[in-house]
Amino acid sequence: DIQMTQSPSSVSAFVGDRVTITCRASQGIGSWLAWYQQKPGKAPKLLISAASNLQSGVPSRFSGSGSGTEFTLTISSLQPEDFATYYCQQANTFPPWTFGQGTKVEIK
Amino acid sequence: EVQLLDSGGGLVQPGGSLRLSCDASGFTFSGYGMSWVRQVPGKRLEWVSTISGRGDTTHYADSVKGRFTISRDNSKKTLFLQMSSLRVEDTAVYYCAKVAPGGVSDYWGQGTLVTVSS
């Protein structure tokens, strides 16, 4: 199975800060990478597919990049509603689809 | 508007069984694969099982293979997960999710909690 590792596990930031989260795959996955946002007690929400394809309705302050084994999710100017946990998921090799351990974005 | 409504969770003893349901609306249900994904609170998401739109192809995580069965009723737009021989480590919130092209889950149910405990 492909292992997905995110860093950092948590990050504290101010509103307005730029935040970058990294996701690394244990083997190359092309651009088959998705990012999800999950708020406490809620279901995950798809933000980005195919490494950089922003889903409809997702604010443009979110962006994704990368290919192969290293990917990033960037929030250009953190807003109060962005405080959540973010997960990456590889969609290259199935089964199984696998997820990162999550990165919690907290208020500083 | 796409909506997925999970139900069927609860408290069950180890070795017991439970059936989860997911009622779908707002899209052509039979045209899409559907998955179950689970999450122990505070832990990462874990893919459990996926079924094709027609229901003729299924896949399972090794951790549930032989114990869980995914199925669907396209006439009722409902997805199921029959869980048997439940273990304490199956305790989690279970989400149904719609599979989009590219292997991502673009819509999720609200989740239903399964607790396996004596």
DSSP B29: G
Task: Quote the CA–CA distance of B105 and B85 in Å, as a whole number.
Answer: 27
Nearest Cα neighbor of A5 from A94, A88, A108 is: A88
Output phi, psi for B93, to 5 deg. -85, 130
In contact, A62 and A48? CB cutoff 8 Å: yes
3-state secondary structure of B26: coil
Mind telling me how many Å the CA of B106 is from chain A's nearest CA?
A: 6
Q: Which of B66, B31, B64 shows the shortest CA–CA distance to B47?
A: B64
Mean of per-residue pLDDT scores for chain B: 97
CA–CA distance, A44 with B29 (Å, rounded to integer)? 20
Radius of gyration of chain B (CA): 13
pLDDT at A108: 86
- In this complex, the residue of B43, B103, B109 whose CB is nearest that of residue A43 is B109
- For residue A27, the tally of other CB atoms under 10 A from its CB is 12
3-state secondary structure A43-84: CCEEEEECCCEECCCCCCCEEEEEECCEEEEEECCCCHHHCC
Beta carbons of A101 and B108 less than 8 Å apart: no
| Interface membership of A46 toward B (CB under 8 Å) | yes
Got the DSSP string for B65-96? TTTEEEEEETTTTEEEEEE-S--GGG-EEEEE
Mean of the per-residue pLDDT values of chain A: 96
Mode of pairing for the β-strands spanning A103-107 and A10-13 = parallel
Averaged pLDDT, A80-91? 96
Q: Which residue has the higher pLDDT, B101 or A53?
A: A53
- Give the closest-approach CA distance of B16 to chain A in angstroms: 25
Q: Which of B1, B7, B39, B45 to mutate to test the interface with A (most CBs of A within 10 A)?
A: B45
pLDDT of residue B100: 94
Question: CB B104 to CB A94 under 8 A?
Answer: no
Q: Give dist(CA B68, CA B114) in Å, integer.
A: 13
What share of chain B has pLDDT > 70, as a percent? Answer: 100
**Cis previous bond, A59, omega within 30:** no
* pLDDT tens per residue, range B59-81: 999 999 999 999 999 999 999 99
Using the predicted structure, report yes or no on whether residue B46 has a pLDDT greater than 90: yes
Residues B37-43: what's their mean pLDDT? 95
Q: What is the pLDDT of residues A48-62, one digit of tens each?
A: 999 999 999 999 999
Q: What is the mean pLDDT of residues B1-27?
A: 98
Closest approach of chain B CAs to the CA of A3, in angstroms?
12
Residue written as tokens 């208020």?
Answer: A107
Q: What is the pLDDT of residue A82?
A: 96
Tell me if the bond preceding A44 is cis, omega within 30° of 0: no
